[in-house]
Structure 1
Amino acid sequence: MMSRAQATILTNMCLLKDSEGRYLMQIRDPKRYSWSGAALPGGHIEPHEGLVESVIREVKEETGLLIRNPKLVGMKHWYTKDNERYLVFLYTATEYSGSLVSSDEGEVLWVHPDNFNKMTLAYDLLNLLRVFEENELNELFYRERLENDFIREFW
């Protein structure tokens, strides 16, 4: 029987909203990261770590806030140049406690979506936000890598 195993990178991302409708954004340094600009907090899932556990940990590490009851709303995924499947589990949360603290991964601040047009956003963030915001969508798949972009499929 042929193995169905494939090299995979597991990550998460969380859209944290406050009571005023603002999103918690992380401003990533272009000198430090291959992708930069305003992004949502998240990161890699560690070996033997639960998915929900990992998004709670990542948000705490990057923002100082402890989220509760994160909800899985979808996925973003693609294949890397090394043919590894890169999966991003997408969560939303509105319940949190603690004090906002920036990390070495970037400054964190609350931003109303109406102000996104005044910011430098991370690559494809507006398309990704569709998966978070549109109930009929739950997947963004980069089907094919182009020279400077991807062919996107929304599901």
Structure 2
Amino acid sequence: MSRSQATILTNMCLIEDGRGNIVMQIRDPKRYSWSGAALPGGHIEAHEGLVESVIREVKEETGLTIKSPKLVGMKHWYTTDDERYLVFLYRTSDFEGDLRSTEEGEVRWVAREKVVHMDLAYDMLNLLRVFEEDNLSELFYRERLENDFLREFW
């Protein structure tokens, strides 16, 4: 029995400024199927390290150079093509540079308590729990439901 499977590797990073604000990216619904406010991140390129990839993605999408990102968990599910989709979740408050928006979307600092009032990308509140709660390290969507949403398991 083969243990290999088609896999898509991605990352996401919670960036904090030490004053209660986090970086949020407003993703354009015309450009992305997963649109709304989300944390920056993206795909891991072939032959690229995991930490290297999150540093690169954050730089490309926000203009910030992050340092010492800490892996805090992961989100994963199976696509309709039966590929496993993995999102490595990182967190840091160590960064340099000035925040700037790109074609990927507008980026801005948002007070953490105001995030719940934003038009968030699907499941961002569940994802934030993995970033912030020490007893959680995984968000796994085991099954796709009829309305195309997924049922999550912790």
TM-score (norm 1): 0.97
Q: State the alpha-carbon separation in 1 of the partners of residues 90 and 152 from structure 2.
A: 20
Q: State the alpha-carbon separation in 1 of the partners of residues 152 and 34 from structure 2.
A: 18
2:138 aligns with 139
Quick one: which amino acid aligns to residue 108 of structure 1?
V
Quick one: which amino acid aligns to residue 88 of structure 1?
V
Identity %: 72
2:89 aligns with 90
Q: State the alpha-carbon separation in 2 of the partners of residues 66 and 129 from structure 1.
A: 21
1:151 aligns with 151
For structure 1, the residue ranges without an aligned partner over 5 or more in a row are none
Q: How far did residue 99 of structure 1 move?
A: 1.1
Alignment of 1:110-125 (within 5 A): 110-125=109-124
Map Cα deviations across residues 43-89 of structure 1 (whole Å, 9 max, x no partner): 00000000000000000000000000000000000000000000000
Q: State the alpha-carbon separation in 2 of the partners of residues 101 and 117 from structure 1.
A: 23
For structure 2, the residue ranges without an aligned partner over 5 or more in a row are none
Map Cα deviations across residues 89-131 of structure 1 (whole Å, 9 max, x no partner): 0000100001111110000000012112331001010011110
Q: State the alpha-carbon separation in 1 of the partners of residues 5 and 116 from structure 2.
A: 39
Count of aligned positions: 153
1:106 aligns with 105
Quick one: which amino acid aligns to residue 9 of structure 2?
L
Quick one: which amino acid aligns to residue 106 of structure 2?
E
Quick one: which amino acid aligns to residue 131 of structure 1?
V
